[in-house]
């Protein structure tokens, strides 16, 4: 089977990044008390720990010892939106506000929807120097099967397949790229940690999708 690497952040709007391998069930969105890294929302995307390598050379994820782990995620529904931009931080501001409006009554049901984690950012290269950034929130369990329809036509739903993920985690702010005193900026941390994880996987001849990586954010 082929795995895909993905980079995961954390949401204060802060970023902790892990790198995923996507493989290709029911969604498993549940109470945050079931997870050690979901602390600020009622529900989050839960996972099963497949294996862990504490000897992996890299940054620890805060107080945990999970340096290099594999997680399994069931299929799940997300609400998403896109923005083309030259810089990730500008795209994240626009897309986050758009999705936050959706969960705060800017939907056809006119209801508030609980915030969940993680928040995922996907980057797609375009012609010229700009990128398309896709920001996604996990739909909470109460609205997973029949989510309220958005009033903004730039907001849409996506279904993520069942997957297994290689994860490398580190602390940091998702918006650090726009803060001059922050060094190195988050996009450098993302690339750096992605490189380290890929190097470790190549060292053990792991099979994975080398063309995909994505940051995922958690509150902490």
- Per-residue pLDDT of 9-48, as tens digits, reads 333 333 333 444 433 334 478 787 777 778 788 898 888 8
Q: What is the pLDDT of residue 150?
A: 98
Which range of residues forms the domain containing residue 134?
A: 80-156
Domain boundary residue, one of 105, 139, 156: 156
% of the chain surpassing 90 pLDDT? 28
Same domain for 176 and 146? no
Within this chain, do residues 147 and 89 fall inside the same structural domain, yes or no? yes
Structural domain count, the chain: 2
> What integer pLDDT is reported at residue 149 of this predicted model?
98
Q: In angstroms, rounded to a whole number, what is the distance separating the alpha carbons of residues 29 and 140? A: 6
pLDDT digits (tens, 9 = 90+) for 107-122: 999 999 999 988 988 8
Tell me the CATH number at 97.
3.20.80.10
34-86: pLDDT as tens digits = 777 787 888 988 888 787 765 544 333 333 333 567 888 888 999 999 999 98
On whether both 87 and 71 belong to a single domain, the answer is no
Same domain, 128 and 183: no
DSSP 135-163: EEEEPPGGGSSSPPPBSSTTEEEEEEPPE
Residues 114, 175: one domain?
no
9 and 32, same domain (yes or no) = yes
In sequence order, what are the residues at sequence separation of 6 or more whose Cβ sits closer than 8 angstroms to the Cβ of residue 185? Answer: 176, 177, 179
Residues 92 and 140 in one domain: yes
- 3-state secondary structure at position 120: strand
Q: Are residues 65 and 171 in the same domain?
A: yes
Rg for the chain, CA atoms, rounded: 17
User: What band does 220 get if pLDDT is binned at 50, 70 and 90?
Assistant: low
- Do 114 and 106 form a contact (C-beta atoms < 8 A)? no
In this prediction the pTM is 0.73
Distance CA 16, CA 58 (A): 13
Q: Which residues contact 216 (CB under 8 A, 6 or more apart)?
A: 6, 7, 8, 9, 10, 17, 18, 20, 118, 119, 120, 121
Q: How many helices (H) and strands (E) does the chain have?
A: 2, 13
Per-residue pLDDT band for 5 (boundaries 50, 70, 90) equals: very low
Contact predicate 102/150, CB 8 Å: yes
Is residue 68 domain-shared with residue 85, that is, in the same domain?
no
Of 120, 135, 156, the position where a domain reaches its end is: 156
Does residue 40 sit in the same domain as residue 147?
A: no
pLDDT in the model for residue 142: 93
DSSP state of 43: E
Q: Are 171 and 182 in contact (CB under 8 A)?
A: no
Question: What pLDDT digit, counting tens, does each position of 170-197 carry?
Answer: 776 555 444 344 445 555 667 777 788 8
Adjacent-strand bridge partners of 203: none
Task: Give phi and psi for 93, each to the nearest 5.
Answer: -60, -50
- Length, in residues, of the chain: 220
pLDDT band at 102, cuts 50/70/90? very high
How far apart CA 211 and CA 208 sit, in angstroms, is 9
- The answer to whether the beta carbons of residues 37 and 216 sit under 8 Å apart is no
Mark which of 137, 156, 175 sits at the end of a domain: 156
Q: Which of 157, 185, 144 is nearest to 45 (CA)?
A: 144
Best CA proximity match to 140, nearest among 6, 42, 18: 42
Q: Is the pLDDT of residue 7 over 90?
A: no
């Amino acid at each position: 089977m082929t795995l895909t690497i993905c980079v995961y952040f954390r949401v204060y709007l802060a970023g902790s990044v892990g790198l995923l391998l996507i493989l290709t069930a029911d969604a498993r969105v549940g109470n945050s008390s079931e997870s050690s890294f979901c602390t600020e929302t009622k529900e989050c995307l839960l996972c099963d720990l497949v294996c862990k390598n504490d000897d992996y050379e890299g940054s620890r994820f805060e107080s945990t010892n999970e340096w290099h782990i594999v997680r399994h995620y069931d299929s799940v529904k997300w609400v998403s939106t896109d923005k083309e931009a030259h810089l990730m931080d500008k795209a994240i501001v626009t897309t986050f506000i758009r999705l936050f409006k959706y969960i705060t009554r800017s939907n056809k049901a006119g209801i508030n929807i609980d915030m969940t984690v993680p928040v995922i950012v996907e980057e797609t290269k375009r012609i010229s120097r700009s990128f398309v950034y896709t920001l996604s929130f996990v739909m909470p369990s109460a609205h997973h099967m029949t989510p309220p329809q958005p009033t903004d036509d730039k907001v849409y739903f996506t279904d993520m397949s069942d997957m297994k993920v290689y994860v490398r985690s580190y602390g940091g702010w998702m918006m650090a790229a726009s803060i001059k005193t922050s060094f190195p900026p988050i996009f450098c941390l993302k690339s750096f940690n992605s490189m380290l994880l890929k190097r470790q996987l190549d060292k053990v001849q792991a099979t994975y999708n080398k063309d995909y990586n994505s940051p995922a954010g958690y509150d902490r």
